[in-house]
């Protein structure tokens, strides 16, 4: 058993899952927005990056790591809500292309502003948790206290989102506003407020992903989230853009696929692992693997 944990196969699985939970979080955040407003937010990664960078700046001024995490999430909330109110709300009822173009433009602005403030170099958040991998009979096991924390945090966030959507009154209103806005409005749900809340939650979840990346050994640079957003998007599409569970599983799948391409084919082509899965998934089941809704006849 112990030899098994340090085997090359398990190395790849641990590394793949560690990357995969990040994709899962990003995919989940995309799905939350998609469910509530049917907008695919291309600025999601950049918004998360910005929130975590503000948290990072405060850490440099002596803030505690845990408070930085909370601060980043709070800024994510605020940022998400503001974005929905100012940029996205005028676009409801307009062609889909308008929202795509606006979020792509927002992505450009945020990245350029972040580079102007913090330069394009990689930054790292020092964690109180050790990044040193466990050893087992002298052989490395690709897990560290930080990686375990990363898994735990991601799981906790996912569980929180699930509980919120399934078992709370607010969650019911959120789902109602997404599914049948007119009916929900007639029944006294403040639909607009729910849409804003959806964006806030989503940006908060995204911020957690960015803080995890920045805390890892490779750190985070302003355009770093571009690739992660693409992987998260692929995960969300593979799982079905309206299925949070599918998004999480899709994220883990993409993380593993990339790691196995990296290990057994080529490090340069790692990001193609996800693309291959995407193309195959779209050919077989374009509406997503875990989706339940009826596909639109077009």
Partner 1 sequence: MKWLSSIVRQEKTSARLLGVLSLTVITLAITFILPPVADSQLAGGAAIAIVILGLSWLIGWSGQISLGNSGFMAVGAYATGIWAAHHGSTPLIFTFFLATVVGAFSGLLIAIPSTRLRGPYLAGMTLAFSAAVSPIAQNYTSVTGGEGGLFFNTLNTPHWFLNFFTGPNATINANAQWTADLAVIVAGVSFFFMANLFHSHTGRAMRLVRDNDVAAELVGINLPRTRTLAFVVAAAFAGLGGSLYVLINATVTPSTFPLTLSITLLTLMVLGGIGTLSGAVIGGIIYAFSTNLISHLNSLTGINPTSNLGANMQGIIFGFLLIVTMLFAPHGIAGLGPRIRNRVRALRQVASASTGE
- Specify which residues 139 forms β-bridges with: 136
Q: How far apart are CA 226 and CA 180, in angstroms?
A: 32
Comparison of 39 and 59: residue with beta carbon closer to partner 1 = 39
Least distance (Å) between residue 220 CB and partner 1: 16
Binder among 135, 279, 292, 293 for partner 1 (CB under 8 A): 279
Q: Could you tell me if 25 and 157 are in contact, meaning their C-beta atoms sit under 8 angstroms apart?
A: yes
Q: Could you tell me if 73 and 206 are in contact, meaning their C-beta atoms sit under 8 angstroms apart?
A: no
Residue 105 binds partner 1 (CB under 8 A): yes
Q: How far apart are CA 94 and CA 161, in angstroms?
A: 29
3-state secondary structure of 82: helix
Binder among 3, 9, 104, 160 for partner 1 (CB under 8 A): 104
- Scanning residues 53 to 72, which ones bind partner 1 (CB under 8 A)? none
Show the binding pattern over residues 192-231: x = contacts partner 1 (CB under 8 A), - = does not.
-------------------------------x--xx--x-
Least distance (Å) between residue 142 CB and partner 1: 23
Comparison of 115 and 192: residue with beta carbon closer to partner 1 = 115
Residue 116 binds partner 1 (CB under 8 A): yes
**Closest residue by Cα to residue 261 from 85, 24, 19:** 19
Q: Choose the binding region for partner 1 from 65-73, 98-106, 135-143, 150-158 (rule: CB under 8 A).
A: 98-106
Residues 6+ apart with CB under 8 A from 48: 26, 29, 76, 203, 206, 207, 209, 210, 225
Residue 87 binds partner 1 (CB under 8 A): yes
Residue 237 binds partner 1 (CB under 8 A): yes
Residues in the chain: 298
Residue 275 binds partner 1 (CB under 8 A): yes
Q: Which residues of 211-247 are buried (b: 16+ CB within 10 A; e: fewer)?
A: bbbbbbeeebbbbbbeebbbbbbbbbbbbbbbbbebb
Residue 39 binds partner 1 (CB under 8 A): yes
Q: Give contact residues for partner 1 (rule: CB under 8 A).
A: 34, 39-40, 42, 87, 90-91, 96-102, 104-113, 115-117, 119, 223, 226-227, 230, 233-234, 237, 241, 266, 268-272, 274-275, 278-279, 282-283, 286, 296, 298
């Amino acid at each position: 058993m112990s030899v098994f944990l340090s085997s090359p196969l398990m190395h790849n699985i641990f590394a793949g899952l560690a990357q995969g939970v990040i994709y899962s979080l990003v995919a989940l955040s995309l799905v939350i927005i998609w469910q509530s407003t049917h907008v695919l937010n291309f600025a999601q990664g950049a918004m998360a990056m910005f929130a975590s960078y503000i948290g990072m700046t405060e850490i440099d001024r002596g803030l505690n790591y845990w408070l930085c995490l909370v601060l980043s999430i709070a800024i994510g909330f605020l940022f998400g809500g503001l974005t929905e109110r100012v940029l996205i709300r005028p676009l409801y009822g307009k062609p889909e292309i308008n929202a795509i173009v606006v979020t792509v433009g927002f992505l450009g602005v945020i990245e350029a502003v972040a580079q102007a403030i913090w330069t394009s170099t990689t930054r790292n958040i020092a964690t109180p948790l050790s990044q040193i991998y466990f050893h087992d009979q002298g052989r490395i096991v690709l897990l560290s206290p930080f990686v375990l924390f990363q898994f735990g945090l991601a799981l906790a966030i996912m569980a929180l989102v699930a509980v919120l959507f399934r078992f709370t009154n607010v969650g019911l209103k959120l789902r109602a506003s997404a599914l049948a806005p007119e009916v929900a409005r007639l029944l006294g749900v403040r639909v607009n407020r729910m849409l804003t809340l959806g964006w806030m939650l989503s940006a908060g979840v995204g911020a957690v992903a960015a803080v995890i990346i920045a805390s890892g050994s490779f750190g985070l640079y302003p355009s770093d989230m571009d690739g992660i957003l693409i992987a998260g998007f692929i995960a969300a599409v593979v799982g079905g853009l309206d299925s949070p569970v599918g998004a999480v599983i899709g994220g883990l799948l993409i993380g593993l696929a990339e790691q196995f391409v990296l290990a057994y084919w080529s490090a340069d082509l790692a990001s193609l692992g996800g693309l291959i899965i995407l193309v195959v998934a779209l050919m077989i089941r374009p509406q997503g693997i875990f989706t339940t809704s009826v596909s639109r006849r077009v």
